[in-house]
Amino acid sequence: MKLGARVVRDRWISLGVFIAIAAIWQVLSVIYTVEAVPGEPMVAGWQVLFTKTFLSMADYWAGGLGVPSVAEGADRSYPAAALSLADHSLQTIIRLASGLVVGGGIGLALGLAVSWSRWTRRLVDLPVQFLRTLPLLAMVPLFQLWFGTNIAGEILFVAYGIGVIVFAGTVNAVRNVPSIYIDNARALGASRLTLYRTVILPAILPEMRSTVLLSLGTGWGAVLGAEYLGAQSGLGYVIVYAQQFAYLDRMFLIALLFIVYTSISYWGVSKLTARMLDWAPPSQRL
Amino acid sequence: MTTVTATVKAAPRRVRPLRLFAYGLAAALDPLRLAGLVVFALIWEGLSSVLSTIILPPPQNVVARLWTDFLDAPSLSYYGVANPNLYANLLYTAENVVIAVAIGAAIGIVAGLVSARFSLVRAIINPVMMTAGTVPILIAAPFLLIWFGVGRLSAVCLVIFYVTVILYLFAQRAASNVSPIYEEFARTLGASQRQIVVDLLIPATVPEILGGLRIALAGAWGLEAVSELLGSQEGMGKVLEVLAGATDSEGIMASLLLLGLVAIIVDAIAGWAVKRLASWNAGLSSERN
């Protein structure tokens, strides 16, 4: 079988697998009709998810834009539901993006600063290793204690999670730059700063790719963690409230939305970074 | 067949485990790296003298708290933790981690190896694992808590889920990294399918799989603690949840410190064991490069 044909076949199989899972879920919802709370099935079929559950998202709409909210006495409507989902998604994505920028920036800057000499690198080695082993999501209570429930604390939490990974990734990547590159640039009379700008920064890019993808995954987890405790908006907030009333169908809808978002972001970032690394020899692309 | 086994298992152990251990110890006792820890503690100390103790307790208080709470923390019993000490809760968490890693690894490794051999299987399992791998734990946890109830089962299931995905990926990669030359050579010597799996595929993939196991083990501690935080009657996560409710930052930091220390110790042991168990890897990888 030719490689191209195999790729096409694999795509069809993937599609088939997803359809099969969806179908199994539907069958399960018909067979297993136990309800978590009256009126809320443990396994919600697709017909429920896309009508009743989707409509119930209108409950989380705060009003505005000419679409009245449920709190104002209006009935649940599709526009309100759609707007509410869009709004909460946007809140989550803003938190994630700010955290990525802040944490990624600080992590990269500190990582490069520490890599200045072998001495500083050894000095930070153990503390960073320790910070990395601390379970990030278990630190949510600590951040809540420090920053309360305002948005700065949520962003800082995401930034911390991402910063630690980017920092460690940067230090590691600089360490792995072949010393011949550095020696050669030195022999040609490059100063430390020139060396950083023209040799080290480009050389660590291929290795930073996996760090970026890893921090993206951590970021999605961290933003949810931040919203779990105290946020008044965002997808995490919707999930927490749904869980308190055991509204499994709402949780499932948000989970699906989340899978779609994470998949899109992974796909986008890996395409983008692959494109940015076109110049690197294939053996260096991770 | 013995030739192939010998090739794959490449040469006797060159690095003595004891010497390896000595190297590790020397690296850990590097004065500059230890100085890093001291600097870290000093910065913490400095910050804590500026901020209030509720926000950031000084490091010696946290260590002292860890010391006393480890065997006996009566305050925990007021909040309904069954065993009012860190030791028993840590043990509970550790048990769950071990069970989950064992089951998850078994499923993940088998699925990964099989999928690397048969492209049809890979096409079917890959999309499932890839999607499952992107689901954040906080999304998956509430479902398990409602489906399986608050208790050991849901926490263990959650960790199994993640360990399986990680090891699936590692095992698959390990098996596809095995140079086809080995298998071709084995086939010319008349090896059966079973012999190829037992004498070639397994020894050749074990080092990389063990590396994956180590990564999974490191992550499993955090996941277990988080799922206990969301709903459990025991374990370090429950302790953290209780202390968070009491806004006891000293206690929270002591528990986090304990979790971090245990994770580091377990990881060090695992790393050492991996090097020891997979000592033939040195020969294999040098041949490949």
Give domain status of residue A8, yes or no.
no
Per the structure block, which two tokens stand in for B69? Answer: 């709470």
Residues A57, A247: contact at Cβ < 8 Å?
Answer: no
Query: Of A42-46, A137-141, A251-255, B160-164, which range is least confident?
Result: A42-46
The verdict on a CB contact (< 8 Å) between A126 and B260 is no
Distance CA A256, CA A260 (A): 6
Would you mind telling me the total number of residues written for chain A in this entry? 286
The verdict on a CB contact (< 8 Å) between A17 and B240 is no
Distance CA B29, CA B273 (A): 20
pLDDT of B289 > 60? The answer is no
The verdict on a CB contact (< 8 Å) between B244 and A130 is no
**Nearest-by-Cβ selection for B37 from A127, A141, A248:** A127
pLDDT of A133 > 90? The answer is no
Across the range B146-160, mean pLDDT stands at 83
Name the DSSP letter for residue A64: B
The verdict on a CB contact (< 8 Å) between A258 and B221 is no
Give domain status of residue A206, yes or no.
yes
Work out the minimum CA distance from A22 to partner chain B, whole angstroms: 12
Across the range B79-106, mean pLDDT stands at 85
Residue A153 or residue B99, greater confidence: B99
**Percent over 70 (pLDDT), chain A:** 90
Looking at beta carbons, which residues of chain A come within 8 Å of B142? 239, 243, 251
Q: Which residues contact A51 (CB under 8 A, 6 or more apart)?
A: none
Q: Residue holding tokens 């430390």?
A: A192
Give which of A110, A135, A108 is closest to A123, Cα–Cα. Answer: A110
Give which of B166, B215, B244, B263 is closest to A225, Cα–Cα. Answer: B244
pLDDT at A82: 80
Give domain status of residue A46, yes or no.
no
Q: Phi and psi for A40 in degrees, rounded to 5?
A: -120, 100
Q: Phi and psi for A102 in degrees, rounded to 5?
A: -65, -55
Looking at beta carbons, which residues of chain A come within 8 Å of B127? 14, 17-18
Q: How far is CA A171 from CA A69, A107, B181, in A?
A: 50, 10, 37
**Nearest-by-Cβ selection for A123 from B35, B126, B223:** B35
Give domain status of residue A244, yes or no.
yes
Q: How far is CA A107 from CA A229, B54, B245, B252, in A?
A: 25, 27, 31, 25
Would you mind telling me the total number of residues written for chain B in this entry? 289
Give domain status of residue A152, yes or no.
yes
Query: Of A104-113, A124-133, A158-167, which range is least confident?
Result: A124-133
Distance CA B201, CA B182 (A): 9
**pLDDT tens readout for residues B244-285:** 777 788 888 888 888 888 888 888 888 888 777 776 654 444
Q: Give chain B's domains with CATH numbers.
A: 58-288 (1.10.3720.10)
Residues A151, A89: contact at Cβ < 8 Å?
Answer: no
Work out the minimum CA distance from A202 to partner chain B, whole angstroms: 25
Closest chain B residue by Cα to residue A249: B143
pLDDT of B31 > 80? The answer is no
Bridge partner residues of A40 (DSSP): A37
Using pLDDT thresholds of 50, 70 and 90, give the confidence band for residue B107.
Answer: very high
pLDDT of B7 > 90? The answer is no
Give domain status of residue A2, yes or no.
no
pLDDT of B121 > 70? The answer is yes
pLDDT at A114: 84
pLDDT of B75 > 80? The answer is no
Residue B24 identity (one-letter amino acid): G
Residues B78, B272: contact at Cβ < 8 Å?
Answer: no
**pLDDT tens readout for residues A181-212:** 888 888 888 888 888 888 888 888 888 888 88
**Nearest-by-Cβ selection for A17 from B32, B127, B222:** B127
Give domain status of residue A234, yes or no.
yes
Domain count within chain A: 1
- Give Cα B4 to chain centroid, integer Å: 32
Distance CA B279, CA B275 (A): 6
- Give Cα A17 to chain centroid, integer Å: 25
Give which of A156, A106, A122 is closest to A136, Cα–Cα. Answer: A156
Q: What is the CATH number of the domain that holds A134?
A: 1.10.3720.10
pLDDT at B213: 87
Interface test with A, best of B89, B90, B139 (most A CBs within 10 A): B139
Question: For residue A249, what are the domain limits?
Answer: 70-284
Give domain status of residue A85, yes or no.
yes
**Nearest-by-Cβ selection for A130 from B34, B39, B260:** B260
Distance CA A64, CA A8 (A): 46
Distance CA B230, CA B203 (A): 40
Q: Phi and psi for A77 in degrees, rounded to 5?
A: -130, 160
Tell me whether 0.90 is exceeded by the ipTM: no
Across the range B215-230, mean pLDDT stands at 84
pLDDT at B285: 43
